[in-house]
Chain A
Amino acid sequence: MATTVPDPLRVLLVEDSRVLTERLAELIRLNEDVKFVGAVDTEAGARSAVSSEAIDIMILDLHLKQGNGFGVLRALAQAPVRPFVVVLTNYDLPEYKRAAMELGCTHFLDKLRDYDRLPEVLRELVMQARARVRH
């Protein structure tokens, strides 16, 4: 039935904690429809990764080693091609969620409470992307 296997979606992880990066990478790799392209831990790294590589999905932490997630979101808001952005953060205040949503992120996940929703969110995004390609 599936004669043409669609390219897997390319996922970039922006996260400053090494411990979490390992575990998140593991979790992302569980999904066969996506390809984990790598992890960066600064705002500048995220920006250059987006401009140099085709990124479909970005898992973005708000707290970074340099700059912050909002800087990345603002930069992306001006970019011609924008990946899906899933914010995954320890900052659980509603102000953060509202600000991130206004800047165009698709999902806002609390690292602690919503972490186990990540695989589900990835699947959802894959479906959205496929639907977008088909139409």
Chain B
Amino acid sequence: MTTPGARSPRRPRRYWLVASVALALVLPVVLFFYAELGQARLRDASAGLTASEWRQATVEELLRSLLDAEAAQRGFLLTEDKAYLAPFDPSVRRIPPLLDGLEASYRRAGSQAGLAAVRDLRLKCGMKLGELSGSLRLYGEFGRPAAIALVYTDLGKRTIDDIRATAAGLLTVETQIRAATTDTWVHGIRVTRALIVLATLLGMAFLVAFGLLLGRELRRREAEAVELDARNRELDQVVQERTRNLSALSSHLQHVREAEKAALARELHDELGGLLVAAKMDLVWLRRKLENGDAMLAERWNRVQKSLEQGVDLKRGIIENLRPTLLDNLGLVAALRWLVSESARRSGFKCRERYSEEDLADLDPEASIALYRIAQECLTNIMKHAQATEVEVELACTAADITLTVADNGRGIARHSIGLPQSYGIAGMRHRVSALGGAMSIAPRADGRGTVVRVTIPRVPATAGDAGT
């Protein structure tokens, strides 16, 4: 049973659901932005690496240029062949732009250590170049021995060692820069991967949770549907039971009504009938005594007799209306014959009748009165509403059931009014039929004009000693 109280513990779960949905929506967005950011950072790192490689190459080229210049100076001083001096000047001229490029690159990379090293390098390169060109100047002014003497001092060697050391320092700085960049790169990739894993796990968790919730929801709906179904069936049963009760009550009332009418008819016949006839008999006796009386008395006598006869006729009419005596005395066929001829006489329609061979005098009294009342209702309806000129009545019997058909050529019944609760006459007919386990149909005639009412009821053999009332 679902009660309002049982629903409240579900509330927190709803919040949880909302939170997880929100997370599942927000997380991919965060992931996207982080990935975009990482992409930019990777681009920067890549550019940084390229710059670092370029600087490393530049430092090596600087060293090579210096060594080239030194080799040219040494070769010339040793051999005094001018051809050795040819690469000296180009090598010396290459050095300042290389130093400028390095400085600019370190400034862009924001590396203070790099900048300091470049400044140091620039100084030492200046010293080395000064030493080289100084020795060549000595050669020009004082000759070869003076220049060789300068070479033999360890000044040149120290300077070049210093330069190598500084260049090595620079390469170390480059290695550090590359390592830092790679670290940043790896870290970014790791974070991105972690975010992807988290998002995937959350997505999976969300899917599982959603699946569970969906399953539970489906089961709940199914249970509700089952419950609803059960409740509907219950209600259906209640309705059926009430209908049965009402139907039984209605049957009972119909039965009681018939019984009361029959009792009243019997009483009228037995008591009133007897009294009236007795009065008539006494009147006949009086008449004999009055044989030679005067005319005045004879006339009175006639008037009294007439009144009596009218009274008896009235009583007979009332009795026949209350309870068709023909039905009890001569059976259904005789009663129907009389009913039809009376109706035809009163309303002037032509009637074709077809009856079973049997007189049906031993038919179950309930079935007899029901069929009689149904025929009566049909004929009353025809006289009241149908404006028919021809009526057909047929009563057919088989061993199993009896079928009564009443057809007319009147203006027909509007289909919608057949089922209306206002059509109590028809409802009453239906009830009588269903109480006897029979079936009834009301339809337009085959040619479309008029109406056919057909009633079939199973033939219940009358119990012995039950015939008549």
Contact = CB atoms under 8 A, between A and B. Distances in A.
Interface of A: 16-20, 23-24, 27, 62-63, 67-71, 90-93, 95-96, 99, 111-113, 115-116
A27 B337 CA distance: 36
9 contacts: A20-B274, A20-B278, A20-B281, A24-B281, A67-B468, A90-B269, A112-B276, A115-B277, A115-B281
A99 B280 CA distance: 26
A32 B115 CA distance: 174
A115 B284 contact: yes
Interface in B266-312: 269-270, 273-278, 280-282, 284, 287, 308-309, 312
Contacts of B50: none
Contact of A99 (B274, B278, B281, B330): B330
A23 B282 contact: yes
Interface in B326-356: 326, 328-330, 334, 337-338
Contacts, number: 67
Contacts of B316: 90, 92
B224 to A, nearest CB: 66
A90 B330 CA distance: 15
Given A20-B281, A93-B338, A96-B329, A112 B312 contact: yes
Contacts of B270: 16-17, 63
Interface in B314-328: 316, 325-326, 328
Given A23-B281, A68-B328, A115-B284, A95 B276 contact: no
B282 A95 contact: no
Interface of B: 269-270, 273-278, 280-282, 284, 287, 308-309, 312, 316, 325-326, 328-330, 334, 337-338, 468
A20 B275 CA distance: 8
Given A69-B329, A92-B316, A95-B330, 13 more contacts: A16-B270, A17-B277, A20-B281, A24-B281, A62-B329, A68-B468, A71-B468, A95-B338, A96-B330, A111-B280, A112-B308, A112-B312, A116-B284
A64 to B, nearest CB: 9
A126 B334 CA distance: 33
A17 B275 CA distance: 9
Nearest to B315: A90
A17 B326 contact: no
A118 B385 CA distance: 47
A111 B337 CA distance: 24
B280 A115 contact: yes
Contact of B329 (A23, A91, A113, A116): A91
Nearest to B359: A99
A24 B2 CA distance: 84
Given A115-B281, A116-B284, A19 B309 contact: no
Contact of B273 (A24, A67, A90, A116): A90
Contact of B280 (A18, A63, A93, A112): A112
Contacts of A67: 468
A91 B335 CA distance: 13
Nearest to A113: B309
B281 A91 contact: no
A99 B334 contact: yes
Contacts of B326: 93, 95-96
A112 B330 CA distance: 22
Contacts of A70: 329-330
Contacts of B278: 17, 19-20, 23
Nearest to A27: B281
Contacts of B312: 90, 112
Contacts of B277: 17, 19-20, 90, 111-112, 115
